[in-house]
Amino acid sequence: MLVVDKTLCDLFEGYIRSGNMEQAESLAEKRVCASNKCTDDRTANDWRLRLSDLYLAAGRTEESEALFQRVVQTRALQGLSNDLQIQKRAKLLARLGQKQLAAELEHSLSTDRSSDSIRIEYTLCGVEEIRLGHNTTITAYNTQDKGRSPVTVTFLGPHDVDGSCIASAGTITCEGNFTMHGSIFGHVMPPDIGGRIQSRISPAPDKLNKLPNALTAPATAIDLSQSGLTLGEHGFGRTSMSAGDYVVANRNINSRLVHRHNSNGRIRIFLVDDDRDDNEYALIWSEHSMTGLPADLQFWYNGVRKLRFEHKTYGVVYAPHATVEIKFNGHFTGAIVANRIIGEGNNHFVFDQHLLEVVFAQ
């Protein structure tokens, strides 16, 4: 079922990208109808929201609202926050020209997620979902331990709170071989995964539904659209960045920012959406990061678009409303906080234990 659902998602998104709305609507209606007959369909609300969005775009407002309210009520009964769902619907209303309704909906948001400081506790934290492909490994080490290198990874015991941990208030899906020594917080599929790995599985903590927003760029941050730096695609026009704070509006990078870290010191990249950009991705990080200190390369994003990381990256990603993708064969050392985390397979995630001691402040 998990494989079939992923195929349906890819097919649905393909219909949307090609403008084939009738096919997308038909597929979503059939999937929602099927979910109504299931007693435990973990992605049922995702499909109801997809269909609700299609109905809204087609002017079928009452049907759209009925589906949306069903999702809101279901999640509320489960003790889950609806802030992200409301935020996404408000953005869709705004894009459809219904700006007054969008403003009213955003005003209804009940949770203040602002924060002056943030701490990282998990290797992977996906509010709605974590999906891990075949042959995924999750380990940990401390970058401040001078006796070790990123290649020499310490495997920690299953009950070690400082070990590699993953957490989700939604579903954690393992689609194949999976190796991890640490703790898992959330509902795991398939259920027998606990018997196949050395990990303790516990309920997700309530705080996952109330994660603070990402830090925002300070006034002194460099706007890359005004900096004169050359940005490029597919390995051309590489940008050599020195330590500092940078603002990146995705319309300025043609979906791809290529980075080479040649200097010592912290780099913080603040991603900003632009209403004129209909790009699926806020960022595609396509080159090896040349630093072994994850805390020195930070990505902050409050939008709902996707972030994609390819090859080998040392860094911290904090995007509580977005989807983060790790390409097949990708390695990520540090930590990721997102709404959804999708590992395509053959991925190696390494948690830097030093992050437990770091306070990320505005």
Using alpha carbons, select from 301, 95, 329, 127 the residue that is nearest to residue 215. 301
DSSP string, 204-245: PPGGGGGPPPPP---TT-EETTTS-----STTSS-EEE-SEE
End position of a domain, from candidates 35, 60, 80: 80
Instruction: Let me know whether 217 and 158 are in one domain.
Output: yes
> Average pLDDT in the 320-338 region?
93
What is the SS3 assignment for 289?
coil
**CB distance 341 to 126 below 8 Å:** yes
Q: Among candidates 130, 122, 123, which has minimal Cα distance to 343?
A: 130
Confidence of residue 153 (pLDDT cuts 50, 70, 90): very low
Q: Among 95-99, 171-175, 184-188, 250-254, which stretch is predicted with the lowest mean pLDDT?
A: 250-254
For 10-87, strand residue ranges (E) read: none
State the pLDDT confidence band at 175, using cuts at 50, 70 and 90: confident
Residue 111 lies inside a defined structural domain of this protein: no
Listing DSSP states for 118-142 in one string gives: E----SEEEEEEEEE-SSEEEEEE-
User: What pLDDT score does 318 carry?
Assistant: 96
Whole-structure pTM value: 0.77
Mean pLDDT on 306-332: 91
Average pLDDT over residues 227-251: 58
Both 240 and 185 in a single domain?
Answer: yes
If asked whether residues 239 and 327 sit together in one domain, one would say yes
CA 344 to mean position of chain CA atoms: 13
Question: Higher pLDDT residue, 106 or 244?
Answer: 244
Same domain? 122 vs 243: yes
Of residues 284 and 108, more confidence is placed in: 284
Question: Where is the domain boundary, 80, 107, 139?
Answer: 80
Nearest to 165 by CA among 355, 359, 360: 355
The reply to whether 136 and 217 lie within a common domain is yes
Cα–Cα distance, 191 to 188 (Å, whole number):
6
Taking CA atoms, 352 is separated from 12, 120, 141, 179, 243, in Å, by: 37, 10, 5, 17, 20
Same domain, 47 and 127: no
Q: Are residues 69 and 129 in the same domain?
A: no
In CATH, what number is assigned to the domain containing residue 55?
A: 1.25.40
Q: How many domains does the chain have?
A: 2
As a whole-number percent, the residues of the chain with pLDDT over 90 amount to 23
Cα end-to-end distance, the chain, whole Å:
43
Rg over CA atoms, the chain: 20
Q: What residue type is 74 in one-letter code?
A: T
Q: Residue 105: inside a domain, yes or no?
A: no
Residues 63 and 138 in one domain: no
Residues 135 and 52 in one domain: no
Do residues 205 and 296 both lie within one domain? yes
The residue range of the domain holding 24 is: 2-80
Residues 145 and 239 in one domain: yes
- Return the pLDDT at 239: 52
Banded model confidence at residue 266, pLDDT cuts 50, 70, 90: confident
pLDDT in tens, 245-263: 988 876 544 334 444 444 4
